[in-house]
DNA sequence: CGTTTTCTATCACAGGCGTGACACAAAACA
DNA sequence: TGTTTTGTGTCACGCCTGTGATAGAAAACG
């Protein structure tokens, strides 16, 4: 017998509504009333599930990061040991994994969009700083891990400075996300993947 | 005999105050009252020089872009014809020019910070869209121009796709700016220049 | 000088915000 | 059943926002 209301499901619905509002109107205009309206709830009800605005924001941001982390872990697991793949495939696999961070479809586009707004707010809103820093560190770790695996499997041109290359690839991904969200017509998904492939190809020293 | 008040100077002072508020508190918290307070003016006075908030924002954004454009033009002029420099110098000159877009000192840091906030707002605020698009197009044009010059002077490894390389370098610069503003400790000015140098070196096909 | 424009300063208004308080319905429980 | 917990809806308060209106001082002008 299903409960009449499932609190966890409700919270997820509210977070989904919040994401839609942030994507559509921006974080600045994402008020409790707007989220409640989008979720089809009364503001009083919403406040029963989230005691304060800050609690809602934290939960939403954390939910997004958790979802992304799960997806990345599943992707990493699906790839398995990199050296068991033919060398020609390795760059493609790495690109596919890193592309989880790029706005290539509606889902990832929404993620990146929300993420950019949260990060912008985190610069001056201490309440978001921890989660934002944690996310940035996670992205950096993932990129470094990918580069390390590629290097260990002999796929990269030797002599690379991994510190620099990590920052370079991380910045490239950030920039592609920013550009693709801002100018989807110029920086299309195809262009994003082409740029990423070109970069990894360069690192491998093809040519 | 100096006028008692110079309207143009006043407007510049107000814009400077606005920049300080945006950098310190974020664009979201940059209200007319906050700017007036920062400039040491009464809000009534401020409104005498800027009829509306939108007018102030537009003027401020345009001022920043004008200043940046001037600086870039002066830098380009200072470099002169690229092929008149020794090949070993060309990458360094290009890096120096592109570094005008990176937050390497307080001035550029403020510029990039304000710019990021404006761009984030432009996504959902139509009033900022034109200037934001114009700025993005300008950056893209500059990058393409630099890459074209390097290519024509034989400094780049032949066979590059300039469309892709323009997007790649533009995204890299955007990402470096974003990262350096967000995590100055990780992405220090030295690291930024190192990453940029590494990228241009790669394009040249050193090694 | 007087007149006119420019500048400064203040008040009030409507609108949106987060949030505390509270009443009431509905479900869960004993 | 009655009691308790959970969920829903509404009100009001204080705060901040941009902006219109307006009065008065200061400077510029003829």
Strand D footprint nucleotides (protein C-beta < 7 Å): 6-11, 16-23, 26-28
Task: Determine the CATH number of domain A1-51.
Answer: 1.10.10.60
Q: Which CATH architecture has domain B57-204?
A: Orthogonal Bundle (1.10)
Give me the pLDDT at residue B4, please. Answer: 64
Quickly count: other Cβ atoms within 10 Å of residue B13's Cβ: 16
Over residues A101-109, the mean pLDDT reads 98
Nearest to B195 among A116, A168, A199 (CB): A168
Maximum CA extent, chain A: 64
A202 vs B5, which has greater pLDDT? A202
Nearest to B120 among A117, A187, A194 (CB): A117
Taken as a whole, chain B contains a residue count of 207
Question: Contacts of residue B174 in chain A, CB cutoff 8 Å?
Answer: 171, 174-175, 178-179
For A42-62, what is each residue's pLDDT tens digit? 999 999 999 999 999 999 999
Confidence grade of residue A63 (pLDDT, cut at 50, 70, 90): very high
For B176-195, what is each residue's pLDDT tens digit? 999 999 999 999 999 999 99
Question: Contacts of residue B120 in chain A, CB cutoff 8 Å?
Answer: 26, 116-117, 120
List, in order, residues 6 or more apart from B45 with CB less than 8 Å away.
B36
Same fold, A1-51 and A53-204: no
**Contact (CB, 8 A) for A177 and A200:** no
* CB of B204 within 7 Å of some strand C atom: no
Give me the pLDDT at residue B7, please. Answer: 75
**Contact (CB, 8 A) for A206 and A90:** no
- CA A97 to CA A76: how far, in whole Å? 7
| Averaged pLDDT, groups of 10, chain B, 207 residues long | 72 98 98 98 98 97 97 98 94 98 98 98 96 97 98 95 98 98 98 98 85
Spacing of A30 CA from C14 C1' in Å: 21
Give me the pLDDT at residue A1, please. Answer: 44
For A131-146, what is each residue's pLDDT tens digit? 999 999 999 999 999 9
Give me the pLDDT at residue B6, please. Answer: 79
pLDDT higher than threshold 90 for residue A205:
no
Give me the pLDDT at residue A2, please. Answer: 52
Please report, rounded to a whole number, the percentage of residues in chain A having pLDDT higher than 90: 94
A31-66 burial: b if 16+ Cβ within 10 Å, else e: eeebbbebbebeeeebbebbeeeeebbbbbbebbbe
- CA A93 to CA A138: how far, in whole Å? 19
Q: What are the boundaries of each domain within chain B? A: 1-51, 57-204
Please report, rounded to a whole number, the percentage of residues in chain A having pLDDT higher than 70: 97
**Closest by CA position to B201, among listed A92, A131, A157, A136:** A157
Over residues A83-92, the mean pLDDT reads 95
Residues with CB under 7 A from strand D: A 5, 7, 10, 41-45, 47-49; B 3-5, 29, 31-34, 43-44, 47, 51-54
List, in order, residues 6 or more apart from A105 with CB less than 8 Å away.
A189
**Closest by CA position to A72, among listed A54, A47, A92, A99:** A99
Task: Determine the CATH number of domain A53-204.
Answer: 1.10.357.10
- CA B63 to CA B77: how far, in whole Å? 21
Nearest residue of A to residue B24, measured between CA atoms: A124
The CA-based dihedral angle spanning residues B76, B78, B81, B82, taken in that order and rounded to the nearest 10 degrees: -70
Give me the pLDDT at residue A5, please. Answer: 72
**Contact (CB, 8 A) for B98 and B143:** yes
For A156-168, what is each residue's pLDDT tens digit? 999 999 999 999 9
For residue B171, give how far its alpha carbon lies from the nearest alpha carbon of chain A (Å).
Answer: 4
Nearest to A173 among B124, B175, B186 (CB): B175
**Contact (CB, 8 A) for A14 and A45:** no
| DSSP secondary structure letters along A103-123 | --SHHHHHHHHHHHHHHHHHT
């Amino acid at each position: 017998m299903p409960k009449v209301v499932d609190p966890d499901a409700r919270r997820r619905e509210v977070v989904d509504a919040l994401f839609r509002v942030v994507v559509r109107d921006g974080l600045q205009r994402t008020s409790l009333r707007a989220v409640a309206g989008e979720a089809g709830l009364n503001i009083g009800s919403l406040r029963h599930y989230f005691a304060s605005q800050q609690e809602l924001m934290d939960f939403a941001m954390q939910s997004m990061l958790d979802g992304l982390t799960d997806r990345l872990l599943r992707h990493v697991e699906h790839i398995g040991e990199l050296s068991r793949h033919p060398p020609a495939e390795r760059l493609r696999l790495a690109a596919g994994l890193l592309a989880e961070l790029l706005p290539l479809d509606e889902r990832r586009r929404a993620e990146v969009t929300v993420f950019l707004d949260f990060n912008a707010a985190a610069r001056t809103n201490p309440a978001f700083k921890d989660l934002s820093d944690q996310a940035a560190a996670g992205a950096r770790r993932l990129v470094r891990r990918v580069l390390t695996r590629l290097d260990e499997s002999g796929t990269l041109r030797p002599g690379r400075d991994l510190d620099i290359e990590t920052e370079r690839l991380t910045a490239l991904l950030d920039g592609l996300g920013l550009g693709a969200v801002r100018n989807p017509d110029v920086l299309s998904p195809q262009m994003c993947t082409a740029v990423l492939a070109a970069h990894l190809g360069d690192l491998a020293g093809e040519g």
